[in-house]
Chain A
Amino acid sequence: MPTVAKGDGMRGLAVFISDIRNCKSKEAEQKRINKELANIRSKFKGDKTLDGYNKKKYVCKLLFIFLLGHDIDFGHMEAVNLLSSNKYTEKQIGYLFISVLVNTDSALIRLIIQAIKNDLEARHPVHICLALQCIANIGSKEMAEALTKEIPKLIVSGETIDAVKQSACLCLLRLFRTSPETVPPGEWTQRVGHLLNDQHLGVVTSATSLIHTLAQKTPEDFKPCVQLAISRLSRIVTSSYTDLQDYTYYFVPAPWLSVKLLRLLQVYPPPEDPALRGRLNECLETILNKAQEPPKSKKVQHSNAKNAVLFEAINLIIHHDTEPSLLVRACNQLGQFLQHRETNLRYLALESMCLLASSEFSHEAVKKHMDTVITALKTERDVSVRQRAVDLLYGMCDKSNAEEIVAEMLSYLETADYSIREEMVLKVAILAEKYPVDYTWYVDTILNLIRIAGDYVSDEVWYRVIQIVINRDDVQGYAAKVVFEALQAPACHENMVKVGGYILGEFGNLIAGDQRSSPMVQFQLLHSKYHLCSAPTRGLLLSTYIKFINLFPEIKGQLQDVLRNNNNLQNADAELQQRAIEYLQLSTVASQDVLATVLEEMPPFPERESSILAKLKKKKPNVSDIEVVKEGKKSSNPPTLNNSAANTPEATPASAPVPVMAAAPAPAPVQSASDDLLGLSAGPAAAAPVTNNFAAPAAPAGGGGLLVDVFDTPPAQNNVSTALAPQAEENFFKFAIKNNGVLFENELLQIGVKAEYKGNLGRLGLFYGNKTSYPFQFFTPTVSCPGELASAMNVQTKPLDVNTVEGGAQVQQIINVECIADFVDAPILSIKFSYSGSMQQINLMLPVMLNKFFEPVEMDATSFFNRWKQLSSPGQEEQKIFKASFPINSDTSRTKLLGFGFGLLDGVDPNPDNFVGAGIIKAQSSQVGCLLRLEPNMQAQMYRLTLRTSSKSVTTRLADLLLKLF
Chain B
Amino acid sequence: MLKFILLVNKQGQTRLAQYYEHPEHDRVSVERDIIRKCLAREDNQCSFLEYKNFKLVYRRYASLYFIVGVDHTENELAILELIHNIVETYDKYFDKVCELDIMFNLDKAYMILEEMVMNGRIVEMNQNRILLPIRVMDQATQ
| A166 pairs with B123, CB closer than 8 A | yes
Q: What are 30 A-B contacts defined by CB distance under 8 Å?
A: A2-B135, A4-B105, A8-B105, A64-B106, A67-B14, A67-B15, A67-B17, A69-B31, A71-B27, A89-B140, A100-B110, A126-B136, A133-B114, A136-B118, A139-B119, A163-B133, A170-B118, A206-B123, A249-B81, A255-B81, A256-B78, A256-B81, A259-B75, A263-B75, A308-B76, A344-B47, A381-B44, A384-B49, A625-B72, A876-B25
A4-B105, A126-B136, A384-B45 known; A301 vs B24 contact (CB < 8 Å)? no
| B33–chain A nearest beta-carbon distance, Å | 9
Q: What 3 pairs between A and B have smallest CB-CB spacing?
A: A874-B25, A308-B77, A2-B138
Contact B140 A88 (CB under 8 A): yes
CB pair B46 A385 closer than 8 Å = yes
Cα–Cα, bound, A246→B14 (Å): 32
Number of A interface residues at 8 Å Cβ cutoff, please give it: 82
Is A728 positioned at the interface, with any CB of B under 8 Å from its CB?
no
Across-interface contacts of B133 in A (CB, < 8 A)? 126, 129, 163
Chain B residue with minimal CB distance to A104?
Answer: B22
A845 to chain B, nearest CB (A): 29
A205 on the B face (CB < 8 A):
yes
Query: Contact at A96–B77, with CB atoms within 8 Å?
Result: no
B53 to chain A, nearest CB (A): 6
Residues of B close to A13: CB separation below 8 A: 104
**Set of chain B residues within 8 Å of A876, measured between Cβ atoms:** 25
Given the complex of chains A and B, what is the CA–CA distance between A798 and B48 in angstroms?
57
Measured CA separation A312–B73 after assembly (Å): 11
- CB of A17 within 8 A of CB of B103, answer yes
- Separation of A877 and B26 alpha carbons in the complex (Å): 9
B26-44 residues with Cβ-Cβ distance < 8 A to A are 26-32, 42, 44
- Measured CA separation A136–B124 after assembly (Å): 14
Q: Is B94 at the interface (CB under 8 A from chain A)?
A: yes
Q: Do the beta carbons of A100 and B17 come within 8 Å of each other?
A: yes
Cα distance A198–B129 in the bound complex, in angstroms: 16
In the complex, which residue of chain A has the Cβ closest to the Cβ of B80?
A304
The CA of A202 and the CA of B124, in the complex, are separated in Å by: 5
Q: Chain A residues with Cβ under 8 A from B126's Cβ?
A: 201-202, 246-247
Q: Is A356 an interface residue (CB 8 A)?
A: no
**CA of A263 to CA of B78 in the docked complex: distance in angstroms?**
12
Within the assembled complex, what's the spacing in Å between the Cα atoms of A100 and B18? 6
Q: Tell me, yes or no, whether A597 is within 8 Å of chain B by CB.
A: no
State whether the Cβ of B84 lies closer than 8 Å to any Cβ in chain A: yes
In the complex, which residues of chain B have a beta carbon less than 8 angstroms from the beta carbon of A139?
Answer: 119
Choose among B15, B26, B30 the residue with the greatest number of A CB atoms under 10 Å from its CB. B26
Q: Which of A17, A247, A382, A875 contacts B46 (CB 8 A)?
A: A382
Q: B119 and A877: CB pair below 8 A?
A: no
- Residues of B contacting A136 with CB < 8 Å? 118-119
A88 near B72 with CB under 8 A, answer: no
- Report the minimum CB–CB distance from A133 to chain B (whole Å): 6
Contacting A301 at CB < 8 Å: which of B29, B75, B84? B84
The verdict on A343 contacting chain B, using a C-beta distance below 8 Å, is yes
> Any chain A CB within 8 A of the CB of B137?
yes
Selected from A1, A14, A17, A875, the residue in CB contact (under 8 A) with B95 is A1
- Give the residues in chain B near A257, CB-CB below 8 Å: 125
A538: Cβ under 8 A from any B Cβ? no
- Contact B28–A69 (Cβ < 8 Å): yes
Report whether over half of chain A's contact residues are helix, strand or loop; otherwise say mixed: helix
Whether B139 contacts A2 by the Cβ 8 Å rule is yes
Interface set, chain B 2-25, CB cutoff 8 A to A: 13-20, 22, 24-25
Interface residues of B (CB under 8 A from A): 13-20, 22, 24-32, 42, 44-50, 53, 72-73, 75-78, 80-82, 84-85, 93-95, 100-101, 103-108, 110-111, 114, 118-119, 121-126, 128-129, 132-133, 135-142
B28, B95, B128, B141: the one contacting A246 at CB < 8 Å is B128
**Taking the nearest CB of chain A, how far is it from the CB of B83, in angstroms?**
10
* Interface contact A308-B81, CB-CB below 8 Å: yes
Q: What is the minimal beta-carbon distance from A762 to any residue of chain B, in angstroms?
A: 32
Extra A-B contacts (18), CB below 8 Å, given A136-B119, A301-B81, A347-B46: A2-B135, A4-B94, A4-B101, A8-B104, A63-B106, A69-B14, A96-B114, A99-B18, A163-B129, A163-B132, A173-B121, A206-B124, A246-B126, A308-B75, A343-B44, A346-B46, A381-B45, A629-B72
- Chain A residue contacts of B124, Cβ below 8 A: 166, 202, 205-206
**Residue A311 CB within 8 A of the other chain:** yes
**Residue numbers in A under 8 Å from B110 (CB-CB):** 96, 100
- Confirm or deny: A451 has a beta carbon within 8 angstroms of a beta carbon on chain B: no
Smallest CB-CB separation from B94: which chain A residue? A4
Which one of A139, A246, A256 has the greatest number of beta carbons of chain B within 10 Å?
A256
A68 interface contact, C-beta 8 A: yes
Query: In the assembled complex, which residues on chain A have CB atoms less than 8 Å from the CB atom of B49?
Result: 384
A874 touching B138 in the complex, CB below 8 Å, given contacts A63-B106, A136-B118, A622-B72: no
- B-chain residues with CB within 8 Å of residue A88 when the two chains form the complex: 136-137, 140
**Closest Cβ neighbor of B17 among chain A residues:** A67
Contact A133 B118 (CB under 8 A): yes
Indicate if A784 sits at the interface (CB-CB under 8 A).
no
Contact with B along A625-657 (1 / 0, CB 8 A): 100010000000000000000000000000000
Given contacts A167-B123, A621-B53, contact A96 B107 (CB under 8 A): yes
> Which residues of A lie under 8 Å from residue B53 when comparing CB positions?
621-622
Would you give the shortest CB distance from A619 to chain B, in whole angstroms? 13
**Which chain B residues lie closer than 8 Å to A67 at the CB level?**
14-17, 106
CA distance A625 to B73 in the complex (A): 11
Contact: A209 with B95, CB < 8 Å?
Answer: no
Q: Let me know if A311 and B48 touch, CB within 8 A.
A: no
Report how far A63 CA is from B15 CA in the complex, Å: 10
Task: Report Cα–Cα, A835/B61, bound state, in Å.
Answer: 78
Write out the residue numbers on chain B whose beta carbons fall within 8 Å of the beta carbon of A247: 125-126
**Is B106 a contact partner of A89 (Cβ separation < 8 A)?**
no
Residue A872 is within 8 A (CB to CB) of chain B in the complex: yes
Once the chains bind, are A382 and B44 in contact (CB under 8 Å)? yes
Digit string of A81-92 for contact with B (CB within 8 Å is 1, else 0)? 000000111001
Closest approach, in angstroms, between the C-beta of A221 and any C-beta of chain B?
A: 20
Question: A89-B140, A382-B45, A384-B45 given as contacts; is B104 within 8 A of A137 (CB)?
Answer: no
Whether a CB of chain B sits under 8 angstroms from the CB of A60 is yes
Asked if A384 and B46 sit within 8 Å, CB to CB, the answer is yes
A671 to chain B: closest CB distance in Å?
A: 47
Contacts of A301 in B (CB 8 A): 81, 84
Chain A 164-201, CB-CB to B under 8 Å as 1, else 0, gives: 00110111011000000000000000000000000001
- Residue A6, interface by CB 8 Å: yes
What A residues does B46 contact at CB under 8 A? Answer: 343-344, 346-347, 382, 384-385
Chain A residues within 8 Å of B106, by CB: 60, 63-64, 67
The distance in angstroms between the C-alpha atoms of A13 and B103, with both chains bound, is: 10
| Chain A residues whose C-beta falls within 8 Å of the C-beta of B129 in the assembled complex | 163, 202, 246
Query: Are the CB atoms of B123 and A170 closer together than 8 Å?
Result: yes
Q: Residue A448 at the B interface, CB < 8 A? A: no
* A800 adjacent to chain B (CB < 8 Å): no
For residue A305, CB closer than 8 A to chain B, the reply is yes
List the A side residues contacting B32 at CB < 8 Å: 69
Q: Say whether A93 faces chain B, with CB atoms less than 8 Å apart.
A: yes
> Please, which residue of chain A has its CB at the minimum distance from the CB of B126?
A246
Minimal Cβ-Cβ distance residue in B for A56: B107
Task: Please name all residues of chain B whose beta carbon is closer than 8 Å to the beta carbon of A667 when the two chains form the complex.
Answer: none
Tell whether, in the assembled complex, residue B29 and residue A874 are in contact, meaning their CB atoms are under 8 Å apart: yes
Q: Which residues of B contact A259 (CB under 8 A)?
A: 75, 78
Q: Once bound together, how far apart are the Cα atoms of A205 and B114, in whole Å?
A: 15
The answer to whether A102 has its CB under 8 Å from any CB of chain B is: yes
The residue on B at minimum CB distance from A7 is B104
A205 contacts which chain B residues (CB < 8 A)? 122-125
Q: How far is the CB of A384 from chain B (nearest CB, A)?
A: 5
Asked if A873 is at the interface of the complex by the 8 Å CB criterion, the answer is yes
Q: How far is the CA of A344 from the CA of B78 in the complex (A)?
A: 12
The complex places the Cα of A63 from the Cα of B106 at a distance, in Å, of: 8
Would you give the 0/1 interface string for A869-884, flagging 1 where the beta carbon is closer than 8 Å to chain B?
A: 0001111110000000
How many angstroms between the C-alpha atoms of A256 and B77 in the bound complex? Answer: 10
CB distance from A145 to the nearest CB of B (A): 18
